[in-house]
Structure 1
Amino acid sequence: MEQLTVAMAKGRTATKAMKLFEQAGIYFSSLQDDSRKLVLTDDSGQVKLIFVKAVDVPTYVEKGAADIGIIGKDVLLEDPKDVYEMVDLRISACKLVVAGFPGPYPNTQLTVASKYPHVAKTFFTNKGIRTDVITLNGSVELAPLIGMADVIVDIVETGKTLKENGLVVLEEIADSSARLIVNKASFAIKTAVIQQLIGSVKEGMGVST
């Protein structure tokens, strides 16, 4: 079997993805919770795992530095890449939403704060609403509280942070969960081994192949 390189980011999604790999018979015994290693090989020597920043996963896959990537749909929506989206892994499920204070928001001109400026701009443009999008990378919920933005566009899992800050979901934009993506050239050259890995992952998930 040809070696495959898989890119993902460390964190909760990686922890869940590793369980999917184990269910598929792919084991990384050398992986330790406190390890700072960026490159690991599975016990069979056939799958190489590289850890990168979440937003960089699709780029590593698109450019061929990785054959396969595991990344949230929200990242793919924000920065679309020329890759194959093969499997919804059904982990790290959340929603991309518009949130703000309860009640209607202005429908002519909005100031929107978000770590997803492309998604936000596209969503409101399609609704015919002009926007001034402010890109923030953390504590986006703060923007409406201090009057910097009318609404925010962000991912929501439980809604607890919104609720604790007096904000509510005003509209849902898209569902998001971790996806398995594949480099197009890799899929053409390593079709059999990639399909084998995908089939094993699906079987471990209990999904018919």
Structure 2
Amino acid sequence: MERKNILEKLGLIEKVENESQVNNSNEDIAEEQIAKTEIEKPQFTEVIKNKIQDDVKKAETEAETIVIGGDDSDPISVVKRKKLLKIDEIYRNFDILTEGINSLAIVESFQKALPDYLPTDVKRQSILNIIASSNVKVESLLRDGNDKLRCLNDFSEAFTKESNEVVSDFEKEIKRLNEKINNYKTAIDNMKKLHTEQDFTVKYEIEKINNILQFIEPEK
């Protein structure tokens, strides 16, 4: 009896006994979610794969066309032209929808709508029941998730490559400029040394001539 009271306080017995009520409530939630959108997510076809390849090539081309060290080149401006993309923007660039009943977003919505105290297994089964009653195939949701993972991995690979190339170009330019600075420093030291030697030579000759003139015609 005491154990039953503890289970009741935790809310476990009530939710199990009223599971049909939870499912009915979840079905109402599903209808509300489905009513919000009628957009169906297209499959990840060869067109999207080609889109990814084109974007990768575009990223590579942009990285190659960055000219470092020119008169109009400003590394800060080069980086400022880059944009931090939100996840939704990345999906849109690859023609992947973020909403719709065939999207993982619908599962996320159901997860947030269910009470937190429900065990994971109960939540999973409740959501699967809602999905089944909505005529949505689990395979469609799995395909959507795999498409998104493929998209994000391809984008991350392309962006990482572009970023590494930009950083590498900047580092090469820094190395080139450092070498140029060192050459200027060496040239300055050599010029100062030459100036000292030349000044000594000229002053020595001036002193010698003054001594000769003084010898010929001593000052009164």
Bin of the TM-score, shorter chain as denominator length: under 0.3
Larger radius of gyration: 2
Greater helix fraction, Structure 1 or Structure 2 = 2
TM norm structure 1: 0.24
Q: Which has the higher strand share?
A: 1
